[in-house]
Amino acid sequence: MSSISLRQIKKSFASLTILQSVDMEIETGEFIVILGPSGCGKSTLLNVIAGLDDCDAGKIVIDGKDVSGLEPSQRGLAMVFQSYALFPAMTVRRNLSFGMEIAGTPKQTIAEKVAWVAKLLQIEALLDRKPSQLSGGQRQRVAIGRALVRSSSICLFDEPLSNLDAKLRAETRVELKQLHETLRSTMIYVTHDQIEAMTMADRVAVMHKGKVEQFAHPQLVYEKPASLFVAGFVGSPAMNFLEGRLDGNGNFVTGQIAIDVSLYEFSEPPQDSEVVLGVRCEDIAVVEGTAPNSVPANLAFTELLGADALGWFDSFGQRLSARLSIQTARTVGKNVALSFNISKASIFSKESGLRL
């Protein structure tokens, strides 16, 4: 198992800057998910770690050794691609063994490793089939197996589940997490799917415009996002936002409404300033119109989700979502008031977008 240190990594293509001074310290045996929207630089960062792209500046250090100038084959990494990248003319067995054959690995060792990974991934019955005879999930298992037979201490995954249907993605997600718990290899996994990030990662690195906005445990990212971007990107539905200001007396003021935010834990003493109040849908309650610290709202529509529902409301020109019980969703009126759980809210500077 290996640790990875990324130090001031920068990468540009012509005049387009892709990575802006990325710093990350990845501990031995961690499952790290790099999360972000398309174009944020997450796949480029993975390619730089793998050596498929050279970084323009900075260092990649694996177990204390600077590997920035080494070829991909010299970095001791294994990689699973989004497109599977299997050899179509070879059987599953040959796909698994081919890399070891090229490296001159003894036949007995190759046979043992192929048997081990086939049993681990439950693809023993598929060894004599070709990729065209496999389902998407089976092809992905073979691609993962080809990476594992290299016995690398670091495995890189570039959106490996994006080509699978929803049910198969959920099943394979569980299998990958169980695989990590079995092998305890250091794994770096790139995705734009926040469910994958929240359920699989030891820590999540949320990227935006070539920078890491937050690198923390997934629950901390969800509960205490470091910026407006993270708050809006992580969570489904996205965090609710209300623009207003802090009046210096412990109140958030929006429109003619003052909401007591004295229970909020500021990272530094707040000033009288323009801010954005962020609240998750499960931390909003429908209350009587005269309740303190509430805002008036009009019900736009409800979504029944089975076990519960989402109510969508308009308040001060903003669209807000609140998680409701099925009974409440059926009886809620058109004109209501919404109360916020300030102890679980987030307050951001409107100017910088950073958490206060």
Say whether both 194 and 286 belong to one domain.
Answer: no
Nearest-10 crossing angle of helices 136-148, 92-102:
20
On whether residue 356 sits in a domain, the answer given is no
Distance between CA atoms of residues 177 and 197, nearest Å? 11
Distance between CA atoms of residues 116 and 149, nearest Å? 8
- The pLDDT tens digits for 43-98 are 999 999 999 999 999 999 999 999 998 998 888 888 888 777 788 899 999 998 88
In 3-state terms, what secondary structure has residue 29? coil
On whether residue 227 sits in a domain, the answer given is yes
Query: Tell me, what's the pLDDT at 254?
Result: 86
- The pLDDT tens digits for 132-145 are 898 888 888 888 88
Given 200, 232, 264, which residue is the final one in a domain?
A: 232
Phi and psi torsions of 252, nearest 5°? -100, 125
Among 301, 306, 347, 297, smallest CA distance to 326 is for 306
How wide is the angle at C-alpha 273 spanned by C-alphas 268 and 274, nearest 5°?
Answer: 120
- The two tokens of residue 171 are 């099943």
Given 183, 213, 232, which residue is the final one in a domain?
A: 232
On whether residue 354 sits in a domain, the answer given is no
Say whether both 24 and 69 belong to one domain.
Answer: yes
**Which residues are CB-contacts of 241 (< 8 A; sequence separation ≥ 6)?**
228, 231, 232, 276, 277, 278, 318
Say whether both 10 and 147 belong to one domain.
Answer: yes
On whether residue 355 sits in a domain, the answer given is no
Say whether both 260 and 213 belong to one domain.
Answer: no
Say whether both 140 and 285 belong to one domain.
Answer: no
Say whether both 227 and 267 belong to one domain.
Answer: no
- The two tokens of residue 173 are 């997600």
Phi and psi torsions of 303, nearest 5°? -115, 120
Contact indicator for 340, 277 with CB cutoff of 8 Å: yes
List, for the chain, all residue ranges whose pLDDT scores fall below the cut of 70: 1, 272
In 3-state terms, what secondary structure has residue 148? helix
Say whether both 176 and 50 belong to one domain.
Answer: yes
In 3-state terms, what secondary structure has residue 339? strand
DSSP, res 128 = T
Report the CATH number at residue 33.
3.40.50.300
Q: What is the 3-state secondary structure (H, E, C) of 172-183?
A: HHHHHHHHHHHH
Query: Tell me, what's the pLDDT at 324?
Result: 92
Say whether both 172 and 252 belong to one domain.
Answer: no
Of the chain, the end-to-end C-alpha distance in Å amounts to 38
E strands along 126-198, which residues? 154-158, 186-191
Query: Tell me, what's the pLDDT at 278?
Result: 94
**Which residues are CB-contacts of 126 (< 8 A; sequence separation ≥ 6)?**
92, 118, 134, 138, 142
Given 165, 197, 232, which residue is the final one in a domain?
A: 232
Count of CB atoms within 10 A of residue 291's CB?
Answer: 12
Query: Measured between alpha carbons, how far is residue 318 from residues 65, 138, 252, 278, 351 in Å?
Result: 51, 46, 16, 12, 19
Say whether both 153 and 272 belong to one domain.
Answer: no
Whether the upstream peptide bond of residue 131 has omega within 30° of 0, thus cis, is: no
Sign of the torsion formed by the C-alpha atoms of 275, 276, 279 and 284: positive
Say whether both 226 and 294 belong to one domain.
Answer: no
Say whether both 242 and 136 belong to one domain.
Answer: no
- Domain that includes residue 242, residue range: 238-349
Q: What is the 3-state secondary structure (H, E, C) of 261-312?
A: CCCCCCCCCCCCCEEEEEECHHHEEEECCCCCCEEEEEEEEEEECCCCEEEE
Say whether both 147 and 248 belong to one domain.
Answer: no
* Number of domains within the chain: 2
Q: What is the 3-state secondary structure (H, E, C) of 232-248?
A: HHCCCCCCEEEEEEECC
On whether residue 20 sits in a domain, the answer given is yes
